[in-house]
Structure 1
Amino acid sequence: MSVLATPSVENTRSRLVVDLDAIARNFQTLQKLTPTAETGAVVKANAYGLGAGPVARRLMKEGARTFFVATVEEGVEVREALADPTPDIWVFSGYRAKDRPLYVKHRLGAVLNQPGETAQFRAAPAGPCAVHIDTGMSRLGYGAGDISGLLNALQNLDVSLVMSHLACSEESASTNNLRQLERFTALTNALPETRLSLANTGGVLLGERYQFDVTRPGIGLYGATADLSADNPFEPVVTLEAPILQLREIDAGDTVGYGATYVAHSPRLVATVGAGYADGLPRALSGAGCARIAGLRAPVLGRVSMDLTTLDVTGLEHEISQGAVPEFLGPDLYQAAALDNTLPYETLTGLGARAERIYKGTP
């Protein structure tokens, strides 16, 4: 075993590279898929971990005029980033009277999920509102039995949007989708005439019947779908770059990483890179995933640790000497999610704050 001269590393910090041009093209793809509906943009959870400010600004340049966030605080952040009072920003989590100053000052739209919120909003209106009705998710929203009371409560309120959320949109063959569509159509027939919204990214891909007036794509903007087995019409958006901190040659029989889970079957060249699960790399990549160096696969050896990951870079000496750096996720986002027995949503939102955010393209 011997340590080799390692390429000079000026910055030992991992870098999360977000391709804003790819996000813009994904937005355009979603628009083409919904020719009769407005394409909104879900930028909650810091735009799925990629940076709500830069992402929202670029999407506004591409024509997005309706944004969705989870909390009032996220809405304030997006409004300040846009520095424009005209786009609509809807807050999913519901209305609380104590937040009225923020709704008014930053022109946020309240999504009313239950009678108590609607009563608070009537007592202290804060501009336009949206109504969420539950059609089968059983999380937030008015139930079917609440609709008659809702009609009375909404009198004289400026209702701009009525929405619901699909539970199984990633499963195109699920009968739950059609059941929810039928419920949504029946319930909204009883509500004041206004714009309707049902489709997330999966809903968009289900077809025009589910798209109504406004769609709410999130994961599609960021390069993925919830169905890991289906064709993906969206471009990869994010890569995690990890600098090589050390190169070493190991011999047959040498072990790598915690637990000595990898035993070399022949001499190998190992790169230790400066990123681990604290940077958002799933530990499930241990001994199973890969990075890419100049587009070539570099398998993960042993366990992903908190700050470091080891790669088999045997045969990649030329690419490394030319300055190529290991990249995770990107076209391997689906593989990372599948190995972790989760979805791209969780992989993206789990990307640590430690990685420096780098944006390609104009915010």
Structure 2
Amino acid sequence: MSTGRLTIDLAAIAENWRALDARSAATVETAATVKADGYGLGIGPVARALHAAGARSFFVAVAEEGAALREAVGPNPRIFVYGGHMPGDTDMIGDLGLIPLLNSIEQMTRHFEALPGAPFGIQLDSDMNRLGMEAGEWLAVRDLTMRQGPQLIMSHLACADEPDRPMNRRQLDKFREMTRGLGVPLSIAATGGTLLGPDYHFDMTRPGIGLYGGMPFADAAAVVRLSLPVIQVRDVEKGEPVGYGNTWWADKPTRLATVAAGYADGIHRALSNKAVMYHGTVPCPVVGRVSMDLITVDISGLDGDPQALDLLSTMQTVDDVADNAGTIGYEILTSLGPRYTRRYTGLSAS
């Protein structure tokens, strides 16, 4: 093994979807968000596993992702595009039957003129101030929009991973006010919103990060294992430095392993002198700076020299690594680079 091996458990992804689906009433559809190449894990295998588990609606960020997803799941599942109908997207949306979530009057005009009668949804801004129509804008076009028959009206929660934040209830109340009496399927809950309970479920939930083993879904099955090959082992004496900038000095005789991975592979430089890798259940601290292609690890606590060390495993989740890097699990997952050998287990990836 000359490159790191990223093992992705498709059965665990399916298990996580079923677990989140079980949190909602039978009348609530559980969709799946597979943007950013299935959160970095491969949109094709991930989407096929989710479709086999029962997902019939999917969400992507942009139309190009929708094209890759359509190829993976075939003509029947609904594919919603969070980014809406952007310039240049018309042919792709029309040819592939994508459903743009229109975010502005400009997008509405583009969609209704270019693809009259084609399916669409609406995204409303319930005070996240990122995407979607604000209340006044929506009021001005609501009646026209409803005559066109949107398939879904949605919004997005800003603080759903923090259940006690008043912002959650504030957004819920505003979304209810903006959609009262419309008689159209509604959605405001991603993973965090799903876990907030039935008040937030409406007609559809659309989990993302929880499918891939990330917080705030604490009960998620582990999905990824990242094993990094050891390419050299050496002993350093007390008082010797390691790595760029001499940021770590041995305070005792130390056995070091150099593994073939670095920030070019999505292992953040911020993990320098902070991260831990594992050999089985034994932790081995990263020492010195994470460089582009190499990381040095203290393996003095092992009985022998390992062939590989794990950064992600059942011992350490993406959120554990993210905490050390000062970021979030989403960023760790979606940063995993192309040099890893990817292996899919649990279900067929074809």
TM range (shorter): over 0.9
* Aligned residue number for residue 19 of structure 1: 9
Is residue 217 of structure 2 the alignment partner of residue 242 of structure 1? no
- Residue 225 of structure 1 aligns to a residue in which SS? coil
Normalised by the size of structure 2, how large is the TM-score?
A: 0.94
Q: Superposed, which structure 2 residues align to 1:267-278 within 5 Å?
A: 267-278=253-264
Of 215, 219, 230, which aligns to 1:233?
219
> How far 1:168 sits from its partner (Å)?
0.9
* Aligned residue number for residue 240 of structure 2: 254
Matches of 1:221 and 1:333 in 2, distance apart?
13
Unpaired segments of 5 or more residues in structure 1? 1-10
Matches of 1:301 and 1:35 in 2, distance apart?
49
* Aligned residue number for residue 80 of structure 1: 71
Q: Alpha carbon RMSD of aligned pairs, Å?
A: 1.6
Normalised by the size of structure 1, how large is the TM-score?
A: 0.90
> How far 1:361 sits from its partner (Å)?
2.0
Amino acid at match of 1:338: D
* Aligned residue number for residue 311 of structure 2: 328
Matches of 1:237 and 1:348 in 2, distance apart?
11
Is the contact made by 1:14 and 1:279 (CA closer than 8 Å) also made in structure 2? no
Is the contact made by 2:227 and 2:312 (CA closer than 8 Å) also made in structure 1? no
Matches of 1:97 and 1:127 in 2, distance apart?
16
Of 126, 132, 137, which aligns to 1:135?
126
> How far 1:239 sits from its partner (Å)?
2.3
Change in Cα spacing, 1:153 to 1:98, as seen in structure 2 (3 Å) is farther
- Residue 180 of structure 1 aligns to a residue in which SS? helix
Of 14, 18, 43, which aligns to 1:28?
18
Matches of 2:317 and 2:220 in 1, distance apart?
13
* Aligned residue number for residue 347 of structure 1: 332
Is residue 62 of structure 2 the alignment partner of residue 71 of structure 1? yes
Q: Superposed, which structure 2 residues align to 1:87-126 within 5 Å?
A: 87-96=77-86, 98-123=88-113, 124-125=115-116
Q: Superposed, which structure 2 residues align to 1:77-226 within 5 Å?
A: 77-82=68-73, 84-96=74-86, 98-123=88-113, 124-125=115-116, 127-191=118-182, 193-226=183-216
Matches of 1:269 and 1:100 in 2, distance apart?
59
Is the contact made by 2:284 and 2:301 (CA closer than 8 Å) also made in structure 1? no
> How far 1:190 sits from its partner (Å)?
4.6
> How far 1:156 sits from its partner (Å)?
3.7
- Residue 152 of structure 2 aligns to a residue in which SS? strand
Matches of 1:353 and 1:75 in 2, distance apart?
21
Matches of 1:38 and 1:181 in 2, distance apart?
19
Of 276, 286, 290, which aligns to 1:304?
290
* Aligned residue number for residue 5 of structure 1: none
Amino acid at match of 1:354: R
> How far 1:335 sits from its partner (Å)?
2.3
Larger deviation: 33-42 or 242-251?
Answer: 33-42
For this pair of structures, how many residues does the alignment match?
Answer: 344
Q: Superposed, which structure 2 residues align to 1:262-301 within 5 Å?
A: 262-301=248-287
- Residue 183 of structure 1 aligns to a residue in which SS? helix
- Residue 148 of structure 2 aligns to a residue in which SS? coil
Matches of 1:110 and 1:40 in 2, distance apart?
15
The runs of at least 4 aligned residues of structure 1 exceeding 4 Å deviation read: none
Over residues 5-51 of structure 1, what are the superposed CA-to-partner deviations in whole Å (9 max), with x where a residue is unaligned? Answer: xxxxxx31122221111111111111122234211111111111111
Is the contact made by 1:287 and 1:299 (CA closer than 8 Å) also made in structure 2? yes
Matches of 1:50 and 1:309 in 2, distance apart?
23
Is the contact made by 1:289 and 1:335 (CA closer than 8 Å) also made in structure 2? no
Is the contact made by 1:52 and 1:78 (CA closer than 8 Å) also made in structure 2? yes
Change in Cα spacing, 1:183 to 1:250, as seen in structure 2 (3 Å) is same
- Residue 141 of structure 2 aligns to a residue in which SS? helix
Matches of 1:71 and 1:244 in 2, distance apart?
38
Of 323, 326, 339, which aligns to 1:338?
323
Matches of 2:16 and 2:291 in 1, distance apart?
33
> How far 1:174 sits from its partner (Å)?
0.8
* Aligned residue number for residue 60 of structure 1: 51
Is the contact made by 1:282 and 1:336 (CA closer than 8 Å) also made in structure 2? no
Identical-pair percentage: 42
Is the contact made by 2:233 and 2:305 (CA closer than 8 Å) also made in structure 1? no
> How far 1:339 sits from its partner (Å)?
1.8
Change in Cα spacing, 1:129 to 1:336, as seen in structure 2 (3 Å) is same
